[in-house]
Structures are given as C-alpha cells and as structure tokens.
Amino acid sequence: MTDIHVETERVQGHHLLEVKDLFVEFHTRDGVARVINGVSYHLDPGETLAVLGESGSGKSVTAQAIMGILDMPPAKIPKGQILYNGEDLLKMPEDKRRDIRGQQISMIFQDALSALNPVFSVGWQISETLRTRMGMSKADAMKRAVELMDQVKIPAAKARLKDYPHQFSGGMRQRVMIAMSLAMDPKVLIADEPTTALDVTVQAQIMDLLADLRRDLNMGMILITHDLGVVADVADRIAVMYAGRIIEHADVRALYKQPAHPYTKGLLESIPRLDDKGTVLKTIKGLPPNLMRLPTGCKYHPRCPYTQPICVSDEPRSLNLGNGRTSACHFAKEMLSGELG
C-alpha cells in the first residue's frame, strides 16, 4: 500500500470495501459445514487484493457473500459485516443491495462458457443491464456494448456483437465476461479464478488485461485464485485462506520474501521452478480439512511440519506483525525471523 492510499483512507474514514469478522455456514442434511470462520479483509480504490487458497478454503464463498448471491438457505451468515463505503451490505434491504450488485461491485467467474447464457447473443448479454437498469435505448446500449468489447480488446467487436458465447474461443469468452462486468462502471471487481479454465498463454493475456483495466478505471480488484504464479505480478496484497480463515495477510513482496505461516511457506515451496531441475517437488502432505469436522486448535496442525502441543490445543489468534502484516500462527515471529523452517 502506498502512502496516498493511506491518506484517502483517512479522509473518508473507511475503506472502499471491508469484510469484518465474517462467518458463513451451510446447513445441509449431513450437518453444519462452517465454511467461513471469521474472515476480515479490506480493499481500497486502485489496488488488487489476491485471495489465495485451496478448493474449499472459502475464498469463493466470501466473494459470493459480498455479492449477495449465496443461496440462503442452505447458506447462513450468523455473524459479521460487509461494509461498502462504510455501509453494511448485510443490513440493507434487498432492493437497495441489488442496486449495488453489478453497479458498484461486479464479479467475473471461472468458466465463462457456463457462466454466460447460451441462448442470448453476447451483445445482448453485455447490454442487458444498460437497457434494463440504466434505462438506455436498445441502440445506445448496443453501441456501448461495442465500446466495452473494444475496451477488453475483442477484435472486430461490432461484427461479433450478434454472435453467441459458444462461437468464441475460451479467452475471448472470458473477455466478453469482463466486458459485461464493466458495463455499469463498477468500483469493485471480484475476479473468481478468472484464468483457471484457460490455456497458459491466454491466462497471461487475461491477467494483463485485468491489471490494465484496474489501473485505467481505478477500480479495486479482488483476485481469487489458487495459483501463486498468477498473483505475483498483479496483486498488491495477498490474503491466504485456509479452512475458512485468513491465516496470513501481507504485501506481495514481503510475503514472497519470507512467509510468516507454515501453510504459505508450503504453498511457495510447491511451485515448480525451472532452476530446480532434478530435485523432487515439495508438496503439502494431506488434504484440506473436512468442514463438518474441523480439527481442534490450529486448523492446519494435522498437515503442519512444525506442529507443537499448543497447536493441537489452542487456536492461534491473528497476530499483527506490523506494516499491515498478520499471521495466524503460534510461531509467526519465529517463522518471520527464519528461526523455524
């Protein structure tokens, strides 16, 4: 975070978006799955927060809670706040909340082929909110759709307006998705694994595009991913999630330099490297915990190579390590100083 951001923060008195101590649980026939257990993070204009974690760590559910598109039931939010410009979205009446959805905070999804409606043309889908929510005429909305498609660098945008999602390549489809999410000039863009379904070369193009758009439009971006490689170039800060908690939060550089949580360390070590030819790739042993039966103490202790008795008995609090850096590990200071591991 730069000093300018700190300044604007102080003037307005609050962040653009702030999740405070959020809990989400799913009530199913087999019991209650505690998917989010006290997540807090914040986002300011023009910055990118990467939310990193394995499948089931709760990163997408947090995003869906922000968007207000969780199916409730089975989902339930027993506790927490989601503040947008200081206003709690969870306390808003539904129609007011709907105004924010798409217009202030919008979202793009992993698989654009299934996330786009197969029976409507892309022009129709991009312009839909402009026609139905902004009251634009059909012609104006379509003109704006072409502009948006140009903005996300879809070649021959005008000619492709009437095409359907299945007629586009994977990368182009994701660009359509992005164009659609930008239609109403949102202040926050949540990208839920936007490149996971794409080829590696196309992944880089989409990430570049998102980074450019974020800068040009001065949006705040939440980038949800499980891919550490994707994060390094675009994110300002990283929040690492495990079993529904943020176990480490830090500036990208600081985190890559020295992780303050054994899980983050494990993730960084399991990235294959070109200069490590011949050595066996390190992995994190075991599986993510069952959310119906979370382990005692630190949720990571069954997989952690440094587990001590205290890890089994006590759940670590999130420890403030200065410079906005936090870690939920009993031995965070030792991790940071390099004494451990």
We find the least distance from the C-beta atom of residue 170 to other proteins, in angstroms, to be 15
Q: Are 48 and 234 in contact (CB under 8 A)?
A: yes
Beta strands in 10-94 (DSSP E): 17-28, 31-43, 48-52, 75-84, 87-88
Which of 190, 322, 316, 188 lies closest to 250, judged by CA?
Answer: 322
**Nearer residue to other proteins within complex by CB, 107 or 255:** 107
Among 13, 30, 55, 119, binds other proteins (CB under 8 A): 119
Q: Does 82 bind other proteins (CB under 8 A)?
A: no
Query: CA 237, 243, 246: angle at the middle one, nearest 5?
Result: 25
Among 99, 185, 199, 314, binds other proteins (CB under 8 A): 99
We find the least distance from the C-beta atom of residue 111 to other proteins, in angstroms, to be 7
Strand order across the beta sheet in which 31-43 lies: 31-43, 17-28, 75-84, 87-88
Q: Which stretch binds other proteins (CB under 8 A): 8-16, 128-136, 148-156, 277-285?
A: 128-136
We find the least distance from the C-beta atom of residue 89 to other proteins, in angstroms, to be 13
Query: CA 84, 47, 234: angle at the middle one, nearest 5?
Result: 135
Q: Annotate 128-145 with three-state secondary structure.
A: HHHHHCCCCCHHHHHHHH
Among 8, 85, 117, 270, binds other proteins (CB under 8 A): 117
Within residues 171-230, the interface with other proteins by CB under 8 A covers: 177, 180
**Rounded Cα gap, residues 57 and 290, in angstroms:** 10
We find the least distance from the C-beta atom of residue 125 to other proteins, in angstroms, to be 9
Within residues 29-68, the interface with other proteins by CB under 8 A covers: 67
Assign 254 to helix, strand or coil. helix
Which residue is listed with tokens 């390590």? Answer: 321
Pair of tokens at residue 272 = 């294959």
Taking residue 147's Cβ as centre, other Cβ atoms within 10 Å add up to 14
We find the least distance from the C-beta atom of residue 13 to other proteins, in angstroms, to be 27
Q: Does 164 bind other proteins (CB under 8 A)?
A: yes
Among 1, 4, 6, 69, binds other proteins (CB under 8 A): 69
Q: Which stretch binds other proteins (CB under 8 A): 98-106, 199-207, 234-242, 321-329?
A: 98-106
We find the least distance from the C-beta atom of residue 181 to other proteins, in angstroms, to be 8
Q: Can you give the binding site for other proteins, defined by CB under 8 A?
A: 67, 69, 98-103, 106-107, 109, 111, 114-121, 128-129, 132-133, 164, 166, 177, 180
